[in-house]
């Protein structure tokens, strides 16, 4: 059963890798535990500001995925690992990543985040959800 307030995944709406990640989560989250917000959206900026992240701070950071869960904001590899755990099933195996020291996990995350446009490409505009998924996007 999903929590009363779904966890929110913030993603780079023009990044092909990030959009693919969102699509993966949607496919493996039929209960609707997660909702989504493109980092470029006003809704994301207001919600992140309400949780202590200065407006525009993401413009210079290589963040591509953030997770707001239980009032706590998670970033880097911690966000990805927590999302995978929340999907349950075989996705919990991704949790083996917790055995790596956080600095190592985050260094790998930063390398991928820094090169994501070059490796995976980017779109001109943010993902537009289908009418069936509209309620899960902020």
Please check whether residue 120 is in contact with residue 22, taking contact to mean a CB–CB distance below 8 angstroms: no
Q: Look at 137 and 84; give whichever has higher pLDDT.
A: 84
In this prediction, residue 138 carries a pLDDT of 72
DSSP letter (8 states) at residue 54:
P
Mean pLDDT of 103-126: 87
Q: What DSSP element (H or E) covers 17?
A: helix 16-27
Average per-residue pLDDT for the chain:
84
- Across the range 93-110, mean pLDDT stands at 88
Asked whether the predicted pLDDT for residue 60 surpasses 90, the reply is: no
How many angstroms separate the CA atoms of 47 and 24, rounded? Answer: 23
Q: CA–CA distance from 40 to each of 44, 55, 58, 81 (Å)? A: 7, 11, 9, 23
What pLDDT digit, counting tens, does each position of 16-45 carry? 888 889 999 999 998 889 999 988 888 888
pLDDT value at residue 59: 52
Helix (H) or strand (E) holding 31: none
């Amino acid at each position: 059963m999903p929590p009363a307030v779904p966890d929110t995944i913030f993603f780079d709406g023009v990044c092909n890798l990030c959009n693919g990640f969102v699509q993966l989560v949607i496919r493996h989250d039929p209960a609707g535990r997660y909702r989504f917000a493109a980092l470029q959206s006003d809704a994301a900026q207001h919600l992140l500001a309400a949780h202590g992240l200065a407006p525009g701070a993401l413009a210079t950071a290589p963040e591509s995925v953030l997770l707001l869960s239980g009032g706590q904001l998670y970033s880097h590899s911690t966000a990805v690992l927590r999302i995978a755990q929340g999907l349950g099933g075989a996705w919990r195996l991704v949790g083996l990543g917790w055995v790596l020291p956080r600095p190592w996990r985050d260094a790998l995350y930063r390398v991928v985040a820094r090169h994501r446009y070059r490796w995976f490409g980017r779109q001109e505009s943010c993902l537009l959800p289908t009418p069936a998924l509209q309620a899960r996007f902020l």
